[in-house]
Structures are given as C-alpha cells and as structure tokens.
Chain A
Amino acid sequence: MNIDKKITNDLVANDVSFVTTVPCKQLAGVIDEIDQCEDIFHIPSNKEDEGMGLCAGAWMGGKRPAIIMQNTAIGVTINTLATLTQFYRMPLPMLISYRGELREPVACQVEMAVHTKALLAQLNIPTYHFHHQSDVEEFDNILKYTYMCNKPVAILTDANFWGGYGDQ
C-alpha cells in the first residue's frame, strides 16, 4: 500500500474526520487522498495558525482534528501552540513535511530545518521523525497517543520518507 493511502486510512481508523492543510510539494499526494476521502472533511487553511484555530473549534465540537503542514510552520505557530493548543490542553496531530533535510534541493529550507527539532523540544512537543517508508507503521500508534494525552504531537516526515524529489 502506498504511504498516502496508509496515512489516510490510519486517520479514518482513528476517527479523525476534520483535517486542515497548508500545502507542500511533498504532501501533495496525501492531501489529494484526504480531499477525496468521504470520511474526512478537508478544509484548506491560508496560514497554519488559522488552521490550528479551526482544529481547536472542531475538537470542541466533537470531531477529532489533524493538521498537515510544512516545518516552516513551526516558526509561524509557536504562540498558537503555547497559548491555545497547549494552554487549553487540546490534542492535535501535526503531520509535517520536514523540508531542509537530506535530499533537499532548496538551500533556504535548511535554515528552518536546523531550528525545527529544537523549537519542538523547547515547547515540550512529543516529536517523531519518519525517515524510512516503513516508519509509517508507527502513525496509527502516534494518533492513539495524541488523543490519549491531549497534546499537540509532531510527526516530521523528510524527503527520504516521501521518496525524494523526483528529478530534482
């Protein structure tokens, strides 16, 4: 099974029915899969902190939410993670494309990559790093863990996990 389908199936199996996304080239396949999935309401956001607001509301309304975004978003959302998601103790799985890692063609992406894990650690956000495709097997357990502990949880997915950048 391809990883886009596996991730979508795990979301559905864990009753995640509200997903917001800010796109990334690496995430295009999984975003397409989620958009076509009848069991998930997909709402694109214009900015990641807006998306976290949508997820907070959806969760208080009885739906399990998730956000899909790039790691650059960690720089955008620190205030929201601290003063909304964490302060009110809300669960939020964050599927994050980890740009600026091995096989990255764009130098500027490395500038946020070097801060990503440090920022997540500073925020005490449980963080998982998918580097090989087989790492996706943990996704189901990570979702269960997130909704058990009511915390934001980061799943960093690098270029190697997604199979590189094609011809780049």
Chain B
Amino acid sequence: MIRSEILREIAPILRDQLVVCNIGIPSQELHAIDDQPSNFYMLGTMGLASSIGLGLALAQPKTVIVIDGDGSVLTNLGTLPTIGNNAPNNYILMIIDNGSYGSTGDQPTYTGKKTDLAGMARAAGCDNVVVVQDVDTGTALQEAIDSGQSTVMVVKCDSGNAKMPVITMDPVIIRDRFMKAVAS
C-alpha cells in the first residue's frame, strides 16, 4: 500500500479526532480524501508536525493524532527526546515510513537503508513504540486511541503518491476552523 491508500482506509477513524498533518502531498491527500475542520494542514515548515501536535496535546485533553513522515521526522530529530520526556497520554505520532521523500520526487531517505526510526524513538525515551505493516494501520491506530497511552507508530508502506490538488484554503481559515474544532 502507498500512503494515500492507508489514509483512505483510516479516514473513518481520523474523522472524529484532532489531526495534525504533515506538509506537502500527505496534507493534499488527506484534504482530498476527507477534509474536516478537525484537520490541521501544514502548508509549509517541513518537520514540525510532531512538535505542533505535541504542543496541542499538552495544552488540552482531546486525543491528537499526528500524521508525519520518515523524511520529516529525520529533519527534526530533536523532536523525539522532547516527545519521549513530555508526551501526554493523548498524543499519537503516526510516522508513515515509506523510505522516501514523497513530496519532492520519491528520493530515498535513510530509513530505507540502515536507519531504524522505531529504535531511535525508543532510545529517545518514547515508551510505546510500535512498528506496523500498512495493511494493519487501522487496527493499530484504533488500539493506540483506545489504549489511552502516548504511542509512536512507525507504519511501513510503499513509496508513492496519489495525484491530488494543492490546498488553496487560506492558512488563517485552516487554523481558525481547527481551533473551533479543538474548543468544541
């Protein structure tokens, strides 16, 4: 499976949750598959989805699901110790690990070689780290939500992108409707 197929499958689970979605094609895919006010789409700032989601989870009690990528986590590796030492139980980091920089032409990342993101997350202090195969993502995500514990999911899947339109929604509208969904 590629990322868009996973997102299509887990959309019914994501719909009822606060979602912070990674820059580029992941946000375009989620927006096209199932746009919700409770989705925060990153239009720029590669690497910060996990940090934005962590701040959000620390500030309020609702479950926060971050959809991140292997390339984006690699660009902000300092996030893992911060998560490992501070993540509250309402924080789920789901790293779609397709071993490539999908938004820029599927150039390989190091996670397709020797680098093990799950091992790095554990070494950084994250207590619940699970490696999931693409077909099992929905089950594993629901388990993470139901567990009421902070979880880092590393979802192994194939490299590739669906062709989806660029998000043209104004960032202030994305942010404003998201904040209303948080507060509702």
Q: Which residues of A contact B (CB under 8 A)?
A: 18, 41, 43-47, 49-63, 65, 79-80, 82-84, 87-90
Contacts and interface: CB of A to CB of B under 8 A. Distances in A.
A46 B76 CA distance: 9
Would you list the 9 A-B pairs with minimal beta carbon distance, nearest first?
A57-B55, A61-B59, A53-B51, A46-B78, A83-B44, A53-B48, A57-B56, A54-B55, A58-B55
Contacts of A56: 48, 51-52, 55
A148 B86 CA distance: 30
A131 B56 CA distance: 35
Given A45-B82, A88-B172, A88-B175, A58 B47 contact: no
B153 interface: no
Given A49-B48, A50-B82, A88-B174, A60 B56 contact: yes
11 contacts: A18-B59, A41-B58, A46-B78, A49-B47, A50-B51, A53-B55, A57-B54, A57-B57, A62-B59, A79-B44, A84-B44
B55 A62 contact: no
- Chain B interface category by residue count: 20 to 34
Nearest to A61: B59
B51 A57 contact: yes
A52 to B, nearest CB: 8
A58 B51 contact: no
B52 A54 contact: yes
